Structure 1
Amino acid sequence: MKVAFLPQSHNALKQLVRYTTIGLFALSASLPSSFVQTSQAQQKPGFKSKVINLAYQTSGDIVKARKQVEPRFKALGVTVNWVGPFPAGPQLIEAMNAGRVDIGTVGETPPIFAQAAGVTEVVYIAGRRPSKGTNQGIFVRANSQIKKLSDIKGKKVAFQRGSNAHYLLARALKEVGLKITDVKVVGLTPSEARDAFIQDKVEVWVGGDPFYALVEKNIPIRNLRNAAGINTLGGFYIARRKFITENPQLTRVFLEEADKAGEWADKNPREAAQALAPDLKIDASILETVGRRTVRQLRVLSPSIIGEQQRVADFYFQEKIIPRKVNIRDAVPPTPLLREITPKRLGQL
């Protein structure tokens, strides 16, 4: 799959997002109207903003569901504005690059695609602890004539381009001697890809929880390859570079509360499912399956994690999926700032 070189501009990322969603919608027109612009008025040392814009995706956000951060920010005189839901990471990053989102969480792939498009405003601020990879997969119907992964050559495969599903598919295909160009890619948002698979419009679906849990409750499916040994990073919290530079205290408070929410969810999977169910509009009994989804706690953005992410980026470049080689460290805050925004409960840099 060839990707044309994209210039270093905001328009470049817009083009990339449109490419990853195959023009299904104009993102700039679909962003929520409730965006609140960050105030630049000085307030007190450690932060300037009176509003923090937090992004969430259609796959659910336990921090939002638990209303975990609101009390801390209210005590500081800061209003929390939840922005979304975004269908996937690429769309969330587009909003962040436009200054409409301050902090959000995504998988491994979207920040790499953004960097490849010349985006410099989006930076990594913390890692998420990885799952065992059983929460994702490359799926076919149980009665499909596709029996093994190599059989998907020439078949229609639905997934969100520029997401961790993209990485799972590319790596899995390489294991069996194939490339992305050997399948017919149907680029859809995660929920649209799920629906296309349920409606039997595509033979193969690459996706994950909570949609995976919902699908397997409705139709018999087989997982040709899960993400074990492939999507092992667990994803990242990302932020606007200017926001964390001007608001290190707010960033640290958010990461601390997000980690607490994740710890609670890991220890209380049933209650976490019940908390997420209203936003996701999925029965809590189905969501309990998503306990396999991931460890929701955070981890410090260590050199080893940065190195792992660099290997993911290098793979994309070697496979000619992104137009140029990127240096992950260019999207990591300077060490003094990273130390300032990292809560002690995450560990030492």
Structure 2
Amino acid sequence: MKRLLKSWIAKAVLSIGIVSAIVSASYGQDKVIRIGFQKYGKLVLLKGRGTLEGKLKPLGYTVSWTEFPSGPPLLEALNVGAIDFGVTGESPPIFAQAAGAPLVYLANDPPAPQGEAILVPKDSPLKSVADLRGKKVALNKGANVHYLLVRALEQAGMKYTDIQPVFLAPADALAAFTRGAVDAWVIWDPYEAAAEASTGARILADGTGLVTNYQFYFSSKKFLADNPQAVDLVLEELNEVDEWTKKNIRAVAEQLSPSIGLPASVLEVSLKREAFGTLPINSEVIASQQRIADTFFALGLIPKAVNVSELQRKPGS
């Protein structure tokens, strides 16, 4: 199981190289919507079902799909015009906005705080977040788990500077975690569920009571301005996927298993920690994102303050 997890993560990381290959394509190519997705999630299900292509065909669109290992490189691809539409967690758009990315918040999934966690090895002496003082904690910089770590430390009466953050992509983090080079790993599903199953990792804390762990859907400003009908159709199809998935979690896990390369039992655990429903962005969600942005700026993690509401989709657009 551990070897399977390592192989799966390594393959996911290879997809980042695709960005350089596709960025040379002209931006706004006629009637093509370029969708960025991650190894796991609702866009993977939408891609697998094949229904989006049929719905977009009468409007004259085709669809191209590009896989990314995590949210930060996906939004970098959107920033440089390599994709038009994608999904990430809470933190990546904060870093992207600070870097000037021309993105628009389109919609979000409901909160799923159990879908990310701080893990420690099964035989670790660490019993609480407070025990992380002075310890090495692996995480993907700029990913959704970055804020979880900050909030968990705050709740434990600690500062971000009280731990030693070790910025590693999931594949490298798993290797470091397995050989004991780091004391803890902050990670999201299905990596979280897979690590629990393959290594016996324990959850020191998940996002419950700390973070919302929203998933957000984005497009570039230009693509939304030029193709609002296509964007809305993608969101409608995501809602259809949600309805189907939440009623058929076991079947969905079995369907995803061959393509993702993880056992259906692991994916079922992960799916049960998800939240379903694609919702329009509202003021409460924007306020939540603004709190993350303000926190990251105060910690010096982003170079400037940002106003998240500037990137909210405007009515009628």
Query: Offset of 1:236 from its aligned partner?
Result: 0.6
Q: Which residue is 1:345 aligned to?
A: none
User: Are residues 1:127 and 2:108 paired?
Assistant: yes
Give the AA of the match of 1:216. E
CA 1:26–1:118 in structure 2 vs 1: closer, same or farther (change >3 Å)? Answer: farther
One-letter amino acid of the structure 1 residue matched with residue 218 of structure 2: I
Pairing 1:217–2:205 present: no
Letter in 2 for 1:94: E
Q: Please name the residue that 1:146 is paired with.
A: 126
Q: 1:123 is matched by which residue type in structure 2?
A: V
- Normalised TM-score (structure 1): 0.81
Report the AA paired with residue 107 of structure 1: G
CA distance in 2, matches of 1:167, 1:199: 25
Partner residue, 2:258: 278
For structure 1, the 5+ residue unaligned runs are 1-24, 41-48, 338-349
In structure 2, relative to structure 1, the CA distance for the partners of 1:257 and 1:236 (3 Å cut) is: same
Q: Provide, for residues 124-172 of structure 1, a one-character-per-residue CA deviation record: whole Å limited to 9, x for no partner.
A: 11111112x2222111112112122111112111110101110000110
Contact 2:85–2:217 (CA under 8 A) maintained in structure 1 = yes
- Choose 207-216 or 196-205, whichever is displaced more: 196-205
User: Equivalent residue of 1:104, what SS?
Assistant: strand
Cα shift at 1:28: 7.9
| Distance (Å, rounded) in 2 between the aligned partners of 1:157 and 1:238 | 29
Distance 1:39 1:136 in 2: 35
Q: Kindly indicate whether the alpha-carbon contact (under 8 Å) linking 1:140 and 1:222 is maintained by their aligned counterparts in 2.
A: yes
Contact 2:34 2:85 in 1 (8 A): yes
Q: How does 1:1-349 map to 2 (within 5 A)?
A: 29-31=17-19, 33=21, 37-39=26-28, 49-60=30-41, 61-84=44-67, 86-119=68-101, 121-131=102-112, 133-337=113-317
Question: Matches of 2:245 and 2:85 in 1, distance apart?
Answer: 20
SS in structure 2 of the partner of residue 134 of structure 1: helix
Amino acid paired to 1:51: V
Distance 1:319 1:38, change over 3 A: closer
1:214 and 1:28 map into 2 onto residues whose CA distance is 21
Per-residue deviation, residues 196-222 of structure 1 (Å, max 9, x unmatched): 212322110001211111111122222
Q: Quote the Cα distance in structure 1 between the aligned partners of 2:260 and 2:26.
A: 27
SS across alignment from 1:285? helix
TM-score calculated relative to the size of structure 2 = 0.89
Alpha-carbon separation, structure 2, partners of 1:268 and 1:291: 10
Residues 158 and 30 of structure 1, relative CA distance in 2, 3 Å threshold: farther
**CA distance in structure 2 between the partners assigned to 1:68 and 1:207 by the alignment:** 31
Task: Count how many residue pairs are aligned between Structure 1 and Structure 2.
Answer: 302
Equivalent AA in structure 2 for residue 33 of structure 1: A
For 1:26 and 1:275, how far apart are their aligned partners in 2? 23
Residue 64 of structure 1 deviates from its aligned partner by: 1.8
Contact 1:233 1:309 (C-alpha < 8 Å) held by counterparts: no
Whether the 8 Å contact between 2:92 and 2:144 is mirrored in structure 1 is yes
Partner Cα distance (2:14, 2:95) in 1: 18
* 1:134–1:292 CA contact under 8 A, matched in 2: no
- 1:229 deviates by 2.1
Residue type of the partner of 2:175?
D
Q: Residue 27 of structure 1: CA displacement?
A: 9.6
What is the Cα deviation at residue 292 of structure 1? 2.7
Q: Which moved more, 1:68-77 or 1:95-104?
A: 68-77
Distance between the aligned counterparts of 1:28 and 1:282, measured in 2?
20
Taking structure 1 as reference, are residues 67 and 314 closer, same or farther at Cα in structure 2, changes over 3 Å only? same
Q: Report the alpha carbon displacement of residue 317 of structure 1 after superposing the two structures with TM.
A: 2.1
Deviation at 1:320?
Answer: 2.9
What are the ranges of 5 or more consecutive residues in structure 2 without an aligned counterpart?
A: 1-12
Residue type matched to 2:216 in 1? F
> Residue type matched to 1:72 in 2?
K
Alignment-mate amino acid for residue 275 of structure 1: Q
- Between the aligned partners of 1:191 and 1:26, the Cα distance in structure 2 is 10
Residue 79 of structure 2 aligns with an amino acid whose one-letter code is N
Structure 2 vs 1, CA of residues 277 and 75 (structure 1 numbering), >3 Å: closer, same or farther?
Answer: farther
